[in-house]
Structure 1
Amino acid sequence: MCKDTTNNGVSQEKNLFSFQDVLPDRKIQVDFNAPDISSNGGLVLVGLMKDSIARKIARLIPDYRNQLFVQHSYEEMVCQRVGQIMCGYEDANDCDRLRHDSALKMSVGRKASDPGLCSQPTMTRLENHIDKRTLWKIAELFVKDYISSFDKAPRKIILDVDDTNANTYGAQQLSLFNDYYDEYCYMPMVIFDGMNGKLILPLLRPGRRNKSLNIFGILRRVIEYIHKEWPHTIIELRGDSHFCSHEFMDWVKTHLYVRFITGLSGNPALMKKIDKQLRRAKGDFELHHEDVRRYYSFEYKAKSWKYRQRVIAKIEVSDKGVNVRFIVTSNRNNKPETVYRRYCKRGTMELWIKDLKYFRADRMSCSSFRANMFRLFLYGAAYVTAYRLRSKAFSNTEVGAFTMDSFMKRIMLSAVFIVEKKTFIRFSFSPHHRHLEALSQALTRLSA
């Protein structure tokens, strides 16, 4: 081999670098002859999961290709894309440099020695192949998968609904300017189970200013689908004032299994209702110089409402000034403070949205709106898969309490050593892995 010695005492051979003056009694050698190693060892766990949501999504996509020439099935491609997202590689461009990764191959059902997975152009063609009918089927699948995650029908569930911005920087279809965020964006709507953080449905929507548009139709379809499977379950909707529509409140009156607590935008008519209570709260603050917080309940009917509804006002007076908030609810039994505190628990949803965005669910790089909606479903599938791994395989361990960011960095991005033999393929984690016991427990549960 060709050898060269530099002025720094570093001798170089082909693919071998030797450093003389680093340690007093040893020289350091660096080469590129290591066996098969992957930095995405967490994908081994994904590959061991039975009938993941990624495989279910793939089965809904019609395949019109000539099967004589197909090298990459849709199931492999969807599983590849979701696996990459779970490891922090959110773009289709990442397919080109990860297609030969042995852990990724195993997670989609290939051996390490098999040909590489699909490249970026093939993945992009898949994203742009999805039609409207398939998108609706996938949306329905998310709700169906949520229902199947329960062993039995719960007595009550809470649907936390909110939207978030996904900023756009190109010529994406239906990307509109939103004055609240001061950006061109999409406004995806997400529905979580308010009791545990399970993702029920992510749905891409244009970045229009009127965020309440078409909300009622979407929520009604989701609620009716859940009720069909769980006819005795109480379904409570919780959201901010953007989801307070008179169509929904009127519909709830005739569907006794539905409850709601939503924010309500203030107006002069509402302020007039609490004028006496507000003056009393201000007087108490001036008298005692202590912060005042009061809750009041009253009946109210806007002109567009068909029925009178229960409105709860929270009045706060402090050194910072006066803060008044309103909510409207179908709950007529509990005390105003109890209902308002239950509404405030929806704030936890912001953490779940943050978890979803750790998978870069706001990355909408395709030109077509339908392709971007399919991308959002893939990001949602990554969240659902990671949530299921974390809550089931890693339950009762420190990993079970991780955020999705920590789960990705500490579990999914674990180095693994791969050895392929005639009768087996072995994936070896480091004996010094920080979460060795948790990984051992997860593998035990996945092998059951």
Structure 2
Amino acid sequence: MAEGNQEQLRFHPVEGCTVRAEFNGGAMSSDFGPMLLRGVDRQIGLSDRLAAAIADWRHSSYTDHELGDLLAYRAFLHACGYADGNDADALSTDPVFQLALDRYPLAEKSRLASGSTFCRLENGVSKKDIYRLGQAFVDQFIASYAQEPEAIVLDLDHTVDPTHGQQAFSFYNHHYRTHCFLPLAIFEGQTGRLVTAVLRPGKTPTGAENASILRRVLDRLRVAWPDTHILVRGDGHFANPEIMSLIAERPNTDFLLGLTGNNRLYEQARPDLDAAAEEHTARCAEARRMSLTPPQATRHYCELSYAAGSWPITPRVILKAEVMAAGRNPRFVVTSLQQPEPEYLYAALYTARGQDENFIKHWKNDLFAERTSDRSFLANHLRLFYACAAYVLHHALRTQVLAHTELARAEPGTVIVKLFKRAVRVVPKKRRVDLHLPTSCPVKGLLHRASEILYRIKPPPPRPA
């Protein structure tokens, strides 16, 4: 069958009328989101901060795009649901993206960077550039607070990033049954703010490697916030002597980490598990007698006397003695905190780290942190940072601009669909640019609120070079 005219779309008639569509609408865009992201970026200074971290090696005679524009463009693309460099080619003449990068729309000189430009950027960054970018995200996290916080929680977690080509430092990881990278993400557990992230090889990290990364983060935070209490929280991968030593030697810093069970721990846990099993049996029998639904689980929380010989200190070990219909499920955590009771430590403080999985899901699934398909490891690290920048922009938009609205706690994907994907016609004039949105726009009130807030807030002065 002949393809016909690809510039025209045909549809079935409606009430006897022929229906056709053509790609001749002129200066239109399917994305209004970049205009909101531009306001957020101007307010928090993210792209300028990241650009300052990279030593620009490019010759000025052959440079059409500033580093800040390149980083902002890719961050905006990720934040609007576009994951790849090819999308930069397709949207280089999009009038709304051009406006978001402070360019007069539709002019030939306003064309945005292409995918090949980003390829050269990604393969031109150095190890020092990547290191400074990682620090820049920590600085951005610090700058997101108006004053020194009383306490913060650093949630550490590794996440699998499957690889499918010949990427450098892609290794087979038996736990995940795939070749992968294993990036480390650090979020603030109470607010969901991104602290920083590190792209890692696919092998399981050593305690010394984790401690080395954490030390740099803690040093930078402590310079800015000398009195803030810092709680480092993570699963059993981080319960090692190196992490404990690092935190134990620092004032006003504690850890709360999962602990893998062993024979000695299971032996100490047996009496509490027996008591929990006896209580669970009695509760189930009582529920059946009363024709009620049996309880799903019975849990006891207690403190054990245990310390591994390699540990530099003697921390507290907390047991959750859980008994369910499927059997016994003992769980352990280790902490340097002295005050909270065992149940509060485990049920309130430690289990709250499960929210970190949602932050990682948003970062990976909605903002494409897994698009690391370049052969160069440094290039893939920069691609990971694109997703980090998109996450920071989304978080600032939701918490500072969309607070107390229906999207205040929405996932990035929901914000993209409900708020960003709005058709807009761009009409450039001599002294202004008019944007025409649909009359029946369902989020008219939200867009008005967001644009007014961003318009009225004075952006900070430019950062010194």
Q: Same fold (TM over 0.5)?
A: yes
In structure 1, the residue matched to 2:14 is 22
Match of 1:277 among 268, 272, 279: 272
User: What are the Cα deviations for residues 373-432 of structure 1, in whole angstroms up to 9, with x where unaligned?
Assistant: 111111100110111112111111112121111011222222111010010112222232
Q: Say yes or no: does 1:310 pair with 2:316.
A: yes
Distance in 2, matches of 1:198 and 1:354, equals: 14
Q: Determine the C-alpha separation between the residues in 2 that align with 1:280 and 1:447.
A: 62
For the residues of structure 2 that align with 1:398 and 1:39, how far apart are their CA atoms? 22
Kept in 2, the 8 Å contact 1:92–1:120? The answer is: yes
Q: 1:127 to 1:18 in 2, by over 3 A?
A: closer
Q: 1:329 aligns with which of 329, 335, 341?
A: 335
1:355 paired with 2:362, answer: yes
Which of the residues 200, 205, 212 maps onto 1:205?
200
Corresponding residue number in structure 2 for 1:243: 238
Q: Is the 8 A contact 2:54 2:132 kept in 1?
A: no
TM-superposed CA distance for 1:53, in Å, is: 1.4
Q: Does 1:167 align with 2:162?
A: yes
Worse-matched range after superposition: 13-22 or 249-258: 13-22
The offset of 1:73, in angstroms, is 2.0
State whether structure 2 residue 106 is matched by structure 1 residue 100: no
Q: Which moved more, 1:269-278 or 1:320-329?
A: 269-278
Q: Report what 1:6 is aligned to.
A: none
Q: Sequence identity of aligned pairs in percent?
A: 32
CA distance in 2 between counterparts of 1:353 and 1:343 reads 17
Q: For residues 14 and 121 of structure 1, what CA distance do their matches in structure 2 show?
A: 27
- 1:39 aligned to 2:34? no
Q: Deviations over 1:82-138 (max 9, x none)?
A: 111112111112121111111111111211123311211111000111101111111
How far, CA to CA, are the matches of 2:11 and 2:345 in structure 1? 69
Q: Which structure 2 residue ranges, 5 or more long, are not aligned?
A: 285-294, 457-465
Residue identity matched to 1:255:
R
**Equivalences for 1:375-394 in 2 at 5 Å?**
375-394=383-402
Task: Confirm or deny that 1:422 pairs with 2:421.
Answer: no
Give the structure 2 partner of residue 48 of structure 1: 39
RMSD: 2.1
Any gaps of 5 or more consecutive residues in structure 1? 1-11
1:63-74 superposed matches below 5 A? 63-74=56-67
2:30 counterpart letter in structure 1: S
Q: Distance in 2 between matches of 1:75 and 1:20?
A: 47
Counterparts of 2:193 and 2:100 in 1: how far apart (Å)? 23
Task: Output the amino acid matched with 1:347.
Answer: G
Distance (Å, rounded) in 2 between the aligned partners of 1:318 and 1:57: 50
Structure 1 Cα separation of the partners of residues 224 and 216 of structure 2: 13
Q: What one-letter code is carried by the residue in structure 2 that aligns with 1:136?
A: Y
* 1:310 Cα deviation from its structure 2 partner: 0.4
State the Cα deviation string for residues 187-239 of structure 1 (Å, max 9, x = none). Answer: 11111111110111111011103464500111122112111101111000111
Return the alpha-carbon distance in structure 1 between the equivalents of residues 122 and 143 of structure 2: 27
Q: Report the counterpart of residue 104 of structure 2 in structure 1.
A: 111
Once the two structures are TM-superposed, the CA of residue 18 in structure 1 deviates from its matched residue by: 8.9
| Counterpart position of 2:298 | 292
In structure 2, distance between residues paired with 1:42 and 1:367: 31
CA distance 1:405–1:21, shift in 2 (3 Å): closer
Q: 1:263 aligns to what SS in structure 2? A: strand
Structure 2 counterpart of 1:86, one-letter code: A
Distance of 1:209 and 1:14 partners within structure 2: 51
Letter in 2 for 1:58: A
Matching of residue 346 in structure 1 with residue 353 in structure 2: yes
Match of 1:7 in 2: none
Count of equivalent residues: 436
Cα shift at 1:249: 1.4
What is the match of residue 372 of structure 1?
A: 380
1:225 and 2:220 correspond: yes
Q: CA deviation at 1:21?
A: 4.5
